[in-house]
Each structure stands twice: as structure tokens, then as C-alpha cells.
Chains A and B, each alone.
Chain A
Amino acid sequence: MKNLKYLLVLLLGVTAFTQTACKKDFLDLTPNNTITDANFYQTQEDIVKAVNATYTPIQGLYNGAGWQILDIMTDDTDKGGGGANDGVEVGDLDNFTMNSFNPNINTYFVQCYLGVQRANFVLEKTPTIAVMTPSVRNRSLGEAYFLRGYYYYMLVRLFGDVPLYTAPITLEESLNIGRSNKADVYRVIIADLDSAYNKLPKTRYTGDDKGRVNAWTAKGMLASVYLTLGIKDKALECANAVINSNVYSLNTKYEDNFSLDNENGPESLFEVQYRNIGQTWNFFGQGQALNCFFAPRSQNIVQSSGYGFNVPTPNFFANYEKNAAGQIIDKRRPGSMWVPGDKLDTYTQPNSLEGSPNGYNVRKYFVPATNTAADAGGWSCALNVPVLRYAEILLIAAEAAGPGAGDRYINTVRKRAGLSDIPAGLNADDFLATVYKERRVELAFEMHRWFDLVRHPNPNYMVTTMNAVGKNAQPKHMLMPIPQGERDKNPNLSQNSGY
């Protein structure tokens, strides 16, 4: 019986441990020192953070890829900068010698998919959150739908068919995903923007939420999508919805669209939010790099001296309407670009500069060196960059409505620029050319020109226009190459023809 005593003691010990060890969840541990999907996406605050992160890639997209591709590649601007070796990859875009290794094209691709995946997480996780203010829940879903649609819209216009997915993707899936037909991509874009319109508030944001997208941003973007697809009635319907909402109006002064004091102003449907946080030499921080890159080269009128990239061409400059005396009457010119003789305090724009033989430079997104609070240099400028303005909505409506019915929209835009109405009774082709020209001037350097070139009803329009300004664009350039690094990892990713 003595044995039993020992056994009992031992058995007690056994029980104590096995009680814990045998529990089914003995091996189900989660980390307590890192944030993972096991402990994130659990509160409203988490979802808002996830939504915020979905906006973030647009900063890098506009800093590191937008102007290099969508403006420099066009007849609006040339590379500029400090000689041929300064920004070789941008030079390749300018000269249509880009290949599938081009880093700007890669950045464009990367940033868009960052946004797509993050939107997918928001859309997957938001419905799982038990406690959430309904308005925030709807807004968050709406923002994610909008942003996913927007990023796909950016992708499909530059690359055509692209990998398409609408739920978070695993590493294995991403290593094997193929390209979807661009029609399918557009279907998702339209559905997303529709969903976004339905979920988002139909009023402007105030206070700390300024800069978020609302229902009209979605509707306006949808107008742009329909116009790109050539579905004019729907484009007009969408544009009119925005116009008739009476939520937006044109700024009195054109240059207020690019002013620190008027960010997210009455004309702004969507703009890239930037802030000076002193982050340096990085396209992917919160600072805006355009100020430094576009400012007259080495003139020190901005922090970090100014690099003089993205130089307007004479061909572009010629679009500003002049009076009989040959003076430019278009009020938009000074807000858009520097020309020789322009003054800022003691600075005078010279007749020519390194990289800018005609003394032209982009002035949009300019913050002077004296404003150190808004620009710490090192590509950290606080000024926002517009993505969608009310003026563009009017121009979309004009183009969609066509001659006659469309005149009033375009004339509203021209009126602010101090220009007279367009001639009434233009034929369809002339009217389209007029709208195109107006878009070119009104939306100059806002990274729209390339998309206008490739969406023109005349499929040869881009090549013809580029060749006319001496650029060796070919039909293959209607689509940019899928980055080679992607194709190296993913054997199912086909390349656009010609690359």
C-alpha cells in the first residue's frame, strides 16, 4: 500500500500537467509582441488605418512614376535635368527607348498593386468587424472600392491586360497569376466605382478627414472611365451628376488649385495629400518631390536647389492663346509654368537653363525656398497634387456631350482663364480637337496627357502626334511593357507585344 502513496503523488503531478498539455488549444499560440493579421483588423480604428494605408501608394505613384511617364513621355514636356546622363531611365521614356527594365514603369506597377492589395484587405476585413460606426464602415468600404478601382484604372490604361484579383492574394498566387483581359479589368473598375459611389458620403469632408474621397470623387472618376471607354452617354451622365450636386465649383483663380492655402479646395475632387515631415531623398515618403524636381535647375528658389526636370516644350507652350499683339492672354500660363523673365522676389527666370534651352520650367506644385515649413528639401514638400478637379469634370462633360451641347461646359473653363467662348457649331472632329487642346492647357502637367493621347478615337493619334514632335513613338508604345522583374518571378505573366 506504500506504493500507492507514491503513485498517487505522481499521478497528481501527471494530471496537473496533462490538464494543460492535453487541451486542444495547447499549440494555438499567437504572438504578443508583433502586430499580425491574428491581432489586427479587429477594431474600427484598425480598419481606418488599413484604409489610410490604401491611399499611401498614390504618393509614390505621383512622385516616382506619374510625371516621368504620363507627361515627359508626351509632347507636353521633355526630360530636362542635368544633361543626358541625369535620369537616364526618364530619358528612355522621353525618347521612347524604354524597355521592360525601366524603373519608373516598375514603380508605377508596384505602387498600383500596393494599393490594390491593401484595398482588398479592407474589403475583406471590414465586414468582419463587429463594432463599427455605420458611417465609418460604409465610408471605409467606399474608399477601398474607389481606390481599388482607381489603381486598376491607372494600370489598365498603361499596361492593358493586367493581373486582376479582388481578394487578398498569397505569395504563391502572386507568383502564378496571369493577366486578365482589359475588358474584365474595366468591369471591375466600373463595379468598384459604382460601389464606392453607393457607400461614400455625398458631402465634402471637413477637418481631419479632408483629403478622403467621397461619392462625387467616385462618380467623377467613373465619368473619366466611361469617357476613356468611349461610352459618352454614361460619361456625361456621371459628369452631370457631379456638376448637378452643386458640391463643387471652380476656384476663382486657376493657380489656387496648386496653392498651400487652398488644398482640398472647392474645385478639388481628389488630390494626393503630401506633407513635409523632413523625409529626404525618397519618392515613397509623405513628402512631395515634384517641387524640387521641376523647379528651375540649380536656381535655389526651392530647397535642394531645383533639378529642372519635366521641362515644357515649345509645342506645348504654343497652345496658350495670344492676342493680336502676340501676348499670351491665357491666365493659366503663370500658374502652370515659368518662362524667361518671370520673377519671384529677386529671382528672374533666365532665357535658358541647363536642361531647359528655352528657359521653360513647370511652376505648378511650386513652394518657394523661403517657406521652410512647407518644404524641408530632400523631396519633402507639403503641397498636394491634384488627381481629379472639377475643371476636368466640366471638360469630360464637354467632350461627352459633343459639339453644341458640350460648348457650355468648355466655355465655363475658358472663362476663368480669361478666354472667349469657343466658336459655336464646330463639327465633331474640330470640337474634339478643341476639347483636347483645352484639356492640354487646363490640365497641363497633371499627368493626364499620355492617357488623352492613347484614348483618342483615332487609334493612330498618339503615334502621329508624337512623330510630329520628333519622338519615335511606335504603335507598340500604346502599352508600356510589363516590368521584367515581375515576369522573372512569375512565369505566367506575358509581355506586351514589341518588348
Chain B
Amino acid sequence: MRIFLPFKQGLYCCGIAIALHCTAFQGIANASQQLLANQNTLPANVGLSGLLPEIEQKFKVSFVFKDEDLKFKTVPAKITETENFNEVLQIIETYANLRIEKTGQQVYSLTDALTSPTGLPNLNKEAAKETNGKKAVAPISISGTVLDENGGPIPGVAVLVIGGSATTVTDMNGKFSIEADETATLQFRFVGYETMEVAVAGRSNISVKLKPALLQTKDVVVVGYGTKTKKEVSSAIGSVNAKEISATPVADAAQALQGRVAGLQVVQNSGAPGGTGGTSIRIRGISSVNGSNNPLIVLDGFPLPDQTADNVLNAISPNDIESIDVLKDAAAASIYGVRGSNGVVIINTKRGKEGKSTISFDYYRGIQSAWRLPKMLNAQEYAVINSEARLASGIAVLPKLANPERIASAYGDGTNWLDEIFRAAAMTNMSLSATGGTDKARYAISSGYFKQDGIIRGTTFDRFNFKFNGDYNATKRLKIGNNVTMSRTTERAKNTYDAFNSLLLLAVASPPTVSVRNEDGTYAGGNGAEDGFNEPNPVYDIEVPQGINTKFRAISSIYADYEIIPGLTARINYGLDFVMSNGRSWSPAIPSTGGRPITVTGSSDNTSYNPSYLAEYTVNYKKSYKGHNFGLLGGYTAQDNNYNYLGASRNGYTRLDLRTLSDAAVVPTSISQIGNYNGYGTNRLLSNIGRFSYDYKERYLLSFSLRRDGSSNFAKGNKFAVFPSVSVAWNVMDEPFMAKFPAISNLKVRASTGQTGNQNVTAFAYLQSINTGIQYPFGDNSTSGGGNSAAAPTATKNPALVWEKNQQTNLGIDIGVLKNRVGLSIDIYQRKSLDLLFYVAPPASSGTYDPSPLNTGTMVNKGIDLTLNAVVTNPTSPVKWNATFIFSKYNNKVTDLGLSAPIYSTFSRIGGGGLRVDQGSPVNYFYGFVADGIFQTQEEVNAHAKQTVGTNTSNGTSPGDIRFKDLNGDGIINDKDRTNLGSSIPNFTYGFTNNVSWKFLELSVFLQGSAGNKVLNFTRWYTEGGIANGNFSKDVLKRWTGAGTSNEMPRMIQADPNQNNRVSSRFVEDASYLRVKNIRLSVLMPNKWAKAAKVSTFKLYGSVQNALTFTKYTGFDPEVGGGVDNGFYPQARTFLVGCNLEF
């Protein structure tokens, strides 16, 4: 590959000249930006003069300066960590407002930039005044204080007289004094804050409050094994900062990512408390059909073990998270090699900063309730509809329902089963943290407690969490530190996910004429004989079986950084992710007249222990030479992931007070009363990583990365893979010609391409598995009993099996206009999944019949990510409105199934269709019949293709039944008339974040939505007659009852001879939605109140989560993971109030 290097002609300035070309207040040096933004608050500054000797020694240079010039000059303490001497100079220049000149070999002079605007040391202020020729008006002495937005003093603020020469900086208490004319205007400047101008107007005391700079976006981006400034980034990375994460009242930080990053599709699979129902995170679509699509999550540098479950993040308190960076394109993710193909989510927790200790306390409490529940028939309506449905099928009416008039008096409205299972539920969060440190050592500790009751009775989640991390400069060259994040989560869950036993489905289906309990207090429920309905009583299912899952997780690491020579740092990092969980269940045999009561008391207990170990050795080298900046990263990592589980169950308990498996509680008398199981295994990775980055003055950027991974999941000879990537970027804004376009304040173009892998396929699938379930009977003429054991492979061996590959190309552009008041980033990409693993049915001549895994398919995702940031209000307006809009769209297509036949997976309970994977279509589209209105007359039935031919209306297709399209035109409606009914992949998703602040009020409104995604609403199978004698939704009142009465809702007929309830477009609904996800109003208490309360910040807030949802979807909630609504736990609407205190 040839790379055009356009910078040769630009070698006109070099070395320290860059610094000289910059004046102190123009363009904030990236290094300082990095340091500043890392903290999002004021940098912890220290006196410069104390640090200079260290810098001198480190870089083998000398500084010449006057003590007076360095008085009160501060720089961020982190300057000592900076490896690049140019950056050091830039920081000094920017923060301390010093002018730097190279005056000899390795000798630099520092002079106060403000007192010597021409660059020459100007020791005579009077002389300077004369030079400026402004002596007409007598200057007055002005003093005052500069405060930050929270009312705290800001040291080091530059104060100058516009048009004059007098300058000063504020002292450690934010105080300044300066001489200026009565009519002069003072200017206050400080990095990270808006520059402010104040007319003196004769005052001798002027205090100002600086406002944080607009669009203070996070300027440091965490990349794999390092960080980069936003300007240096050449790949596609999306970032979310702490504020946005902690503003969302959720247990699982993944849920807080929804709508925040373009290209990131987050679907909350369920509203179960604690996010335990799972949150699916998909970065730029779906890359695998049979493997996992979950991104790799890297927590504080620890790549967590591959997850098949979606709820990895609920063990971490969102309050502890400092930043989340999403590596979207291959160039960014390929440093994670064989685990990078689904993208990477890098989470860093908060770390201590040098400076004053901060103690922060956050508390909120809220109440959650269902935002919408389906409307079901009352007792009398149910009697009418059910009797009608039975009569249509030629079945006698249930005696209990025979006289609809009597129903109302006997049952009233009847049992409202939804009210029986739903409740208003509390949610509480508390977190306490302390951070601080000195130039030598920094720490961050926190603890928190989160408790969420579910809006479905019997479901709860709580979490205790502790965190400690520290960094310690052991010597000038050695820095050591650690991370520990620990949590205990406890969950009580109920079945809200399967097509047979989801509580929600049972609740909608239970007839209103059935009661929850009998008069004697025992459980009632549908009685087969009396009600014709024998599904379980949902209240019984909530109250009787008990289960609790407790999970302990500790993710910890220690590291040491050692600087070998300036610019060359070696790092050792060891990590341990320790997950231990225990699940206990108890199902007592308590009678119920409803279906499937527990008849044998049983108990089970299982424990799993899943440690993962990490060792990483990396070397980082940075070198700058005449504007050419080189970076080199090399490393070696090994990871060892383990799982172990051990469990047992017993049944046949005769007493209900001892719930253990001990002999005292139960003495099994047969083997069927005993269950014992265990398993353990390991997965390992061994990797080499390398990255080379180069830029010329951060204008032209180039980065190569390479990872060589060895995975234990594959056969010898196929274990290792190399994942390369390359990315380039051009900061067009830095080109001189851009001066002609003053409206444009930022312009950057990026391009990248690279390869990643997905090793998350079944481990050891390359081995020939042996089927030991075969038998053949030898021996004497015995007539019965098993034969001799036999064993043979029934699937072919595929030792060539390898990881799935993902090849991605990304083109991006970042534009800023109106001094970056409006910023726009657009990325377009193509992801090609290659060597997709499919289970291929073997030819019989192979002598096997079970499908074998083969790398054979191809899938493509093409998409666009767009992020628009804007400061909507005028910068001078007292009302500040910052808005961010993100938009993501992708098209998914399985382009090649290779040797695999189309994959078709059917649903439980509802027949006639399923999810299908076929060439040329999006993955897992809904496959079924096309409903085409309702037959109004017998003539229409006769004229149409044959559906179900019966002898009469009770057993054949009749008027009132759904007409299905005869797609192949063969005159018969059969399996061949099924087609693609749409996909759960949205046309696009979007998020709209708004922060409006005025004085002490801050309002944030976050909207999020999805358009064009389809959901197969399986709940309607239940509520529109799928289950015999079950209740119906109010919608069936609009059923067909004769020609012209309805073209939507078919006639009610219990036996459903026409299979109106088959998988068809009837149940596939548009689940587009727009959700006002969060509204939050915060009030910052006035400073004096805070002072009175002896706190530095006192904030009160109220918020509403899931405030409003606009959707045409008719089920419980349009957000359905996987696209098939099996009566999932709906998301709650939460109202909460909280406070935030900082000491």
C-alpha cells in the first residue's frame, strides 16, 4: 500500500518554534486539554517553580527565569507525567501564561507573557505604559475575586486591561488587584472557561464569576491500551461522560448509553429490576448469526470475559463511572483482535485527582409504575365473547357463563389480573464517594447501595458496591496503582420471558370470572372443568415458588509504570475478575385449582465461580522531532477465563420449614429425587499487540495497529490470527488556507479500515464430538432392556474451524462552525462479517447427520452515524441550552449463507412461521403469512385460494376469518405462501439530549427513539383468542360479526379452524417509538445556603424516567429485545427526587 505523505512541504517550522507561534490565549494546547478535560473540573494545580527542578532533571534541560515572574504561577500537577517535552512547554505556556524562548542548547528562558507582550522581558511597567502612550486618565486600583460556576475561587486567572498593558493573575484565593482607568474594561481569561469582559465603570471592587466554556466536550478519548486527544483520533470512537450516565436512574449503566452514542443500539430486553432482564448492546448492527453479538467490555483496562448474557454491567454502580468510550470501527477495535468484532466498550471508573479532597454524597428515591397496561374484558364482556367463540366452534357454552346478565351481579367487573400482579414500586440509590490526593498519591473510594423493587410483585434487585483505586508516584520513574470494584447483587426474579409461563401472559389470559383465592384463602385459578381454562394462577406463581440469586463480583487490577528513558514507559498490569454467584430456589407443594400447581416440594441450590486472570506487559514510546510525533506501543497479554459450577436439587420434602438439601430436611428415597450437577472449563487468550502512530503537528495523522491473538477455542494450527488495521486523518482546520473560511472552526476528515474477529463461538467445536447415545443389542435372545453401549461421531469434524471475521471500513468527517457552537460528526461505514459460522447439514455420504459448524457465511452491515452538537442559545444569553442529537442507521443483509440451508427457528405456542435467516435478507426476519383483511361473505371465501376446507362454519374457513394471500398463486394457502414480514432491525434510531440552564436551575430533557422496527406481538395471540377460554383484550369487541362489520378483527371462534392465530402480518406490528426517556430538573442551592450547610455544593433534583412514550405498538412496551414479545417485563415510569452534596 502506498501512502501519500503530504507534509514534506510543510517543514517550515520546527521544535520550539511551534510554541513561539502560539500566543498564550490562542488555541489550547492539546496536552493541556487532555489534562484538563480528564477531570471535567478545575485542574489540581500546583506551583510551577517547585516543579521546574524535576522537569529539568527529567528532560535534561535548564530554565532561566526571574522568581517574580513565576510567583503564583501554577500548572497542573500532572505535568510531571507528561512524556513529551513540547507538551510540557505548551502546558507551562498555557497555564502559567509564560513566554518561553530557547536561549541556548537545552536552555529555555521563561518570562511572564502578560508583562512582556512583545516577547521581551519588560521589567519596567511604567515604561510599558509610556510605550502605549496612555497616560491621560489616572488609573485606579481595582481588586476583586474570580469565582467559578459553583462559587469557588479560581486561582491563576489572567486579568488584563483591554487596550492597556497591566496584567495580573489571581492568587490562590482567586483574588486579584490591578490598576486600570476608570473607563477601562477588564478581561478575565482562564482555560476551560469563557473569557469575560467587565467594564470598570469607576468601581474599585469587581468580582466576577466565570462560566465554563461552551461545548466542553470530553477531549480525551480512551483507546485500547492508551488515550488520545480528540484531535489525534483517526478512527470512529463515541464517548459518553459521567454526567450523562449518572443522570439516568438505572442499575445497569448500559441502559444509560441508550440514545447517547451514534451507532450504538441499546435495547432494554426487559424492565425487570436491576436490569437483570438484560440490555442488549449492538454496535453498528449485528455481526454474527450463531455467535455472540455482545461487544467486548473493558473495565479499567480489564477486558472482561466473553459474555453470552446481556447484563454484564449491572454489577457496577453507574455513579462510579467516569467515562464510557465506544470503539466502533475496526481501526479502533482491532487492537482487541479476536474479541473486537462486535466493537468495544471501554469503561473507566473515577480516579482521584491531586488537590483538595472532595466528598460527594448522592441520594435519590423514586416510585415506579407501569406506564401502560392493556385493557382486558370485564366479566360480562368476557362471558359474551367467550360464549360466542364456543358456539361458533359448535361447543356448548360454559354453564358458568351461560347467562351474561347474571355475570355482572355475580362477579362485578371480575378479577383484574393485571392489577393483581402489578404494583407501584420503590427505587432507592445512595452513593458516597471521596476523592483526593497529592502530587505523590491520589485515591478514589466510593460505596453505594441501590435497591429497586419491580413493578411486578415479587421481583426485587439490590446492590452494594465498593470501589477503591489509587495511584502512587513511588519514585520519579515508578508509578504504581490499583483498581478494585466490588459488588454484591441480589435478585428475585419471576418468569416474564417465556411463551408458556410469562406472568404477563398468564395475567392477560386468566378469565375475569376466575378468582385469585378461594373463600378459605387457598389459591384459586382456572379450573379445567368449570372454566375450561387451566393455565397457572399468576398470583400463585408470584407468591409460591421462591428464588433468589446472589452474585458477588470483584474486578481488580494492579499496575506499575516505569519510565526507562524519557518517552519510553513500560507498564505491567495484572487483573482479576472474580465472579461468584449463588442461586437458590424453593418450590413448596401448595395447592391451587389453577393449572400446573407444584405438587412435589423441591429445592435447589447452585453456585458458580468464574474467575478470570489477566496479565499485560506493554511498552510505550513517544518521540517528537521537529513537529513529527511518533508513538509506538508494543505488548504481550495473556488472559485465562474460567467457569465452575456446582449445584444440587432435591424434591419430595415432607416439611416446609427446612429448605436446605440436608438429610434433616429431606431423605430421598429414589434417584429421581436427587439432582447433582457440576462443570468447569477454561478459555485462554495469548496475544501480542502493536501500534504505531505518527502525526505531523497533529495535522496529518496515521495509525497502524496489529494484534496477534492465540485462542484456546480453536484447533492446533488454527489458534493464532493477526488482526491489522490502518487509519488516517487530516485536521484540515490546521491548514493555512482555512483562514479563508472564518465560519468554520473545526474540520477533520478520517478514514480507516481493518479487521477484527469473533472467537465467541462454541469452544472446542473443532473437535469431533462423539455421540454416546447409540446402542446395539448383542447377546442372547433377550426381548427387552437396553442394548450394548455404542458410540460414534454423528457430526463431521472440522478442525479448520476458525473465528468469525469482520472487516470494516469507516469514513468520517468532523465539522465545527460558529466557533464550535455547532459541531457535526458523520461516519459512514461498511462492516462485512466473513467466515460466519453456520451449522451445515452434512451430506449423508459423510456418514453423519448432525449439522457441523463451518465458516461459510457472509453478512454485511452498511450504515451511517451522525452526531450533532449545538449551543442553541446565544452564548451571551443568560439561558444556556446545549443540545446533542444523534442518529444511527444501518442496513443488515445476509449476503451469503455459503453451504448452509436457510435457517428457520419457530416460536413456542404460535405456529405457522418463525424467524428466518436467508440469503439477501436481513438476519432473523419474521417469516409467515400475509393477512389480507377478512372474508366478508361466503362468495369471497369461495373465490379465494383454499385455506381450510371444512364441512361447515365451525370447521372450515368462513366469512369472518382472515384472508391470507396466496403468494405463489397455486390456489392453496399452505407453507409455501409465507414470506418476509419485516425485521426487528429499525430503519434508524435516534437520541436527543438537551441541557438548559439558567442561573441556578438546570433542566435536562432526553428523548430517544427507534423507527421502523417490527415486533411480533405474541401477547395478542393470548388476548385475541389463542388460548381456549382465556380472557380477551378490549379490541375484540370490534370483532367481525357479519358482512361489513370489521376488516381487522376476525370472528371469535375457539377452535380457530382457519388458523387466524397463525404467524402472519396480523401480529407483526410497527414498534417505532419516541420516548421522553428522562426529564430532570436540578436546583443548585445558592452559595450561602451551601456555606451555611457547610457543603461546597448542594443540589436538589427531580426526574422522570420514561416520562412519555409515543408509539402505535399495542403491547406492553415497544422496546422488545429480539423482536418477539413474549409478554416481557415492561419498563416502568419512574418519578424520583434526589440530592447531591459535595463537601
Interface residues in B459-488 (C-beta closer than 8 Å to A) = 474-475, 477-478, 480
User: Do the beta carbons of B784 and A382 come within 8 Å of each other?
Assistant: yes
Q: How far is the CA of A26 from the CA of B638 in the complex (A)?
A: 9
Does A110 lie at the interface of the complex (its beta carbon under 8 Å from any beta carbon of B)? yes
User: Do the beta carbons of B477 and A486 come within 8 Å of each other?
Assistant: no
B844 contacts which chain A residues (CB < 8 A)? Answer: 106, 109-110, 113-114, 483, 485-486
Interface residues in A444-498 (C-beta closer than 8 Å to B) = 483, 485-486, 489-490, 493
Cross-interface CB contact of A36 among B682, B719, B764, B848, cutoff 8 Å: B764
Cross-interface CB contact of B792 among A118, A169, A489, cutoff 8 Å: A118
Q: How far is the CA of A173 from the CA of B852 in the complex (A)?
A: 13
B774 contacts which chain A residues (CB < 8 A)? Answer: 52-53, 56
Does A406 lie at the interface of the complex (its beta carbon under 8 Å from any beta carbon of B)? no
**Given the known A-B contacts A29-B684, A209-B778, are A118 and B770 also in contact in the complex, defined by CB atoms under 8 Å?**
no
**Given the known A-B contacts A53-B774, A106-B844, are A17 and B638 also in contact in the complex, defined by CB atoms under 8 Å?**
yes
Does A255 lie at the interface of the complex (its beta carbon under 8 Å from any beta carbon of B)? no
User: Do the beta carbons of A31 and B790 come within 8 Å of each other?
Assistant: no
Stretch from B226-234, B793-801, B1079-1087 that touches the partner: B793-801
Cross-interface CB contact of B767 among A27, A31, A121, A485, cutoff 8 Å: A31
A211 contacts which chain B residues (CB < 8 A)? Answer: 777-779
User: Do the beta carbons of A28 and B681 come within 8 Å of each other?
Assistant: no
Does B776 lie at the interface of the complex (its beta carbon under 8 Å from any beta carbon of A)? yes
What is the CB-to-nearest-CB distance from A184 to chain B, in angstroms, rounded to a whole number? 15
Does A37 lie at the interface of the complex (its beta carbon under 8 Å from any beta carbon of B)? yes
What is the CB-to-nearest-CB distance from A4 to chain B, in angstroms, rounded to a whole number? 10
Does A208 lie at the interface of the complex (its beta carbon under 8 Å from any beta carbon of B)? yes
B843 contacts which chain A residues (CB < 8 A)? Answer: 174-175, 485-486, 489-490, 493
B475 contacts which chain A residues (CB < 8 A)? Answer: 2-3
User: Do the beta carbons of A17 and B847 come within 8 Å of each other?
Assistant: no
What is the CB-to-nearest-CB distance from A15 to chain B, in angstroms, rounded to a whole number? 11
Does A117 lie at the interface of the complex (its beta carbon under 8 Å from any beta carbon of B)? yes
Stretch from A244-252, A258-266, A334-342, A344-352 that touches the partner: A258-266
Does A59 lie at the interface of the complex (its beta carbon under 8 Å from any beta carbon of B)? yes
Does B791 lie at the interface of the complex (its beta carbon under 8 Å from any beta carbon of A)? yes
B797 contacts which chain A residues (CB < 8 A)? Answer: 37, 168, 170-171
User: Do the beta carbons of A55 and B776 come within 8 Å of each other?
Assistant: yes
User: Do the beta carbons of B783 and A374 come within 8 Å of each other?
Assistant: yes
Q: How far is the CA of A67 from the CA of B1115 in the complex (A)?
A: 55
**Given the known A-B contacts A32-B680, A211-B778, are A52 and B788 also in contact in the complex, defined by CB atoms under 8 Å?**
yes
B939 contacts which chain A residues (CB < 8 A)? Answer: none
Q: How far is the CA of A265 from the CA of B301 in the complex (A)?
A: 73
Interface string of B839-850 (1 = CB under 8 A from A): 011111111110
A264 contacts which chain B residues (CB < 8 A)? Answer: 781
Does B613 lie at the interface of the complex (its beta carbon under 8 Å from any beta carbon of A)? yes
User: Do the beta carbons of A26 and B777 come within 8 Å of each other?
Assistant: no
**Given the known A-B contacts A27-B710, A286-B776, are A373 and B791 also in contact in the complex, defined by CB atoms under 8 Å?**
no
B474 contacts which chain A residues (CB < 8 A)? Answer: 2-3, 6
Q: How far is the CA of A277 from the CA of B574 in the complex (A)?
A: 57
**Given the known A-B contacts A27-B684, A170-B798, are A35 and B769 also in contact in the complex, defined by CB atoms under 8 Å?**
yes
Does B712 lie at the interface of the complex (its beta carbon under 8 Å from any beta carbon of A)? yes
User: Do the beta carbons of A171 and B842 come within 8 Å of each other?
Assistant: yes
User: Do the beta carbons of A276 and B778 come within 8 Å of each other?
Assistant: no
Does B208 lie at the interface of the complex (its beta carbon under 8 Å from any beta carbon of A)? no
Interface residues in A240-284 (C-beta closer than 8 Å to B) = 260-264, 273-278
**Given the known A-B contacts A26-B638, A171-B798, are A36 and B790 also in contact in the complex, defined by CB atoms under 8 Å?**
no
Does B98 lie at the interface of the complex (its beta carbon under 8 Å from any beta carbon of A)? no
Interface residues in A359-385 (C-beta closer than 8 Å to B) = 371, 373-374, 376, 382, 384
Does A329 lie at the interface of the complex (its beta carbon under 8 Å from any beta carbon of B)? no
What is the CB-to-nearest-CB distance from B1094 to chain A, in angstroms, rounded to a whole number? 40
A212 contacts which chain B residues (CB < 8 A)? Answer: 778
B480 contacts which chain A residues (CB < 8 A)? Answer: 6, 10
Which range contains the number of B residues in contact with the other chain?
35 or more
Does B716 lie at the interface of the complex (its beta carbon under 8 Å from any beta carbon of A)? yes
B772 contacts which chain A residues (CB < 8 A)? Answer: 35, 49
User: Do the beta carbons of A29 and B712 come within 8 Å of each other?
Assistant: yes
Which range contains the number of A residues in contact with the other chain?
35 or more
Q: Which of B784, B790, B797, B899 has the most CB of A within 10 A?
A: B784
User: Do the beta carbons of A49 and B785 come within 8 Å of each other?
Assistant: no
Cross-interface CB contact of B780 among A14, A17, A46, A210, cutoff 8 Å: A210
User: Do the beta carbons of A30 and B764 come within 8 Å of each other?
Assistant: yes
Q: How far is the CA of A49 from the CA of B774 in the complex (A)?
A: 9
Q: How far is the CA of A172 from the CA of B680 in the complex (A)?
A: 32
In the complex, which residue of chain A has the Cβ closest to the Cβ of B795? A171
Q: How far is the CA of A341 from the CA of B940 in the complex (A)?
A: 56
Number of A-B contacts defined by CB within 8 Å: 245
User: Do the beta carbons of B783 and A260 come within 8 Å of each other?
Assistant: yes
Q: How far is the CA of A6 from the CA of B562 in the complex (A)?
A: 11
User: Do the beta carbons of B783 and A276 come within 8 Å of each other?
Assistant: yes
In the complex, which residue of chain B has the Cβ closest to the Cβ of A273? B777
Does B384 lie at the interface of the complex (its beta carbon under 8 Å from any beta carbon of A)? no
Interface string of A12-46 (1 = CB under 8 A from B): 01100110110000111111111111101000001
Does A310 lie at the interface of the complex (its beta carbon under 8 Å from any beta carbon of B)? no
Does B560 lie at the interface of the complex (its beta carbon under 8 Å from any beta carbon of A)? yes
Does A54 lie at the interface of the complex (its beta carbon under 8 Å from any beta carbon of B)? yes
Interface string of B693-732 (1 = CB under 8 A from A): 0000000000000000011100010010000000000000
Does B854 lie at the interface of the complex (its beta carbon under 8 Å from any beta carbon of A)? yes
A26 contacts which chain B residues (CB < 8 A)? Answer: 638, 684, 686, 712
In the complex, which residue of chain A has the Cβ closest to the Cβ of B791? A49
Cross-interface CB contact of A37 among B477, B716, B768, B787, cutoff 8 Å: B768
**Given the known A-B contacts A17-B638, A110-B849, are A275 and B769 also in contact in the complex, defined by CB atoms under 8 Å?**
no
User: Do the beta carbons of A33 and B679 come within 8 Å of each other?
Assistant: yes
Does A134 lie at the interface of the complex (its beta carbon under 8 Å from any beta carbon of B)? no
A175 contacts which chain B residues (CB < 8 A)? Answer: 842-843, 899
Does A50 lie at the interface of the complex (its beta carbon under 8 Å from any beta carbon of B)? yes
A168 contacts which chain B residues (CB < 8 A)? Answer: 797
Interface string of B730-774 (1 = CB under 8 A from A): 000000000000000000000000000000000110011110101
User: Do the beta carbons of B716 and A116 come within 8 Å of each other?
Assistant: no
User: Do the beta carbons of B712 and A27 come within 8 Å of each other?
Assistant: yes
Does A177 lie at the interface of the complex (its beta carbon under 8 Å from any beta carbon of B)? yes
In the complex, which residue of chain B has the Cβ closest to the Cβ of A165? B845
User: Do the beta carbons of A170 and B791 come within 8 Å of each other?
Assistant: no
What is the CB-to-nearest-CB distance from B838 to chain A, in angstroms, rounded to a whole number? 12
User: Do the beta carbons of A50 and B780 come within 8 Å of each other?
Assistant: no
In the complex, which residue of chain A has the Cβ closest to the Cβ of B778? A211
Does A313 lie at the interface of the complex (its beta carbon under 8 Å from any beta carbon of B)? no
Q: How far is the CA of A38 from the CA of B849 in the complex (A)?
A: 20
A209 contacts which chain B residues (CB < 8 A)? Answer: 778-779
User: Do the beta carbons of B778 and A273 come within 8 Å of each other?
Assistant: yes
In the complex, which residue of chain B has the Cβ closest to the Cβ of A27? B712
Q: How far is the CA of A121 from the CA of B846 in the complex (A)?
A: 12
What is the CB-to-nearest-CB distance from A264 to chain B, in angstroms, rounded to a whole number? 7
**Can you spell out 19 A-B residue pairs with CB atoms less than 8 angstroms apart?**
A17-B574, A27-B710, A27-B712, A30-B767, A31-B763, A40-B791, A49-B772, A52-B788, A106-B844, A114-B792, A169-B845, A171-B840, A171-B846, A207-B780, A208-B780, A212-B778, A264-B781, A374-B783, A489-B841
Give me the 5 closest cross-chain CB pairs, A-B, nearest first.
A117-B847, A174-B846, A52-B790, A21-B638, A53-B792
**B residues adjacent to A (C-beta < 8 A):** 474-475, 477-478, 480, 560, 562, 572, 574, 613, 615, 617, 638, 640, 679-684, 686, 710-712, 716, 719, 763-764, 767-770, 772, 774-793, 796-800, 840-849, 852, 854, 899
**A residues adjacent to B (C-beta < 8 A):** 2-3, 6-7, 10, 13-14, 17-18, 20-21, 26-38, 40, 46, 49-56, 59, 106, 109-110, 113-118, 120-121, 163, 168-175, 177, 207-212, 260-264, 273-278, 286, 371, 373-374, 376, 382, 384, 483, 485-486, 489-490, 493
Known: A40-B770, A485-B843, A485-B844. 16 other contacts (CB 8 A): A7-B478, A10-B572, A14-B617, A31-B767, A35-B769, A35-B791, A52-B791, A56-B776, A59-B776, A117-B848, A177-B845, A211-B777, A260-B781, A273-B787, A382-B783, A382-B784
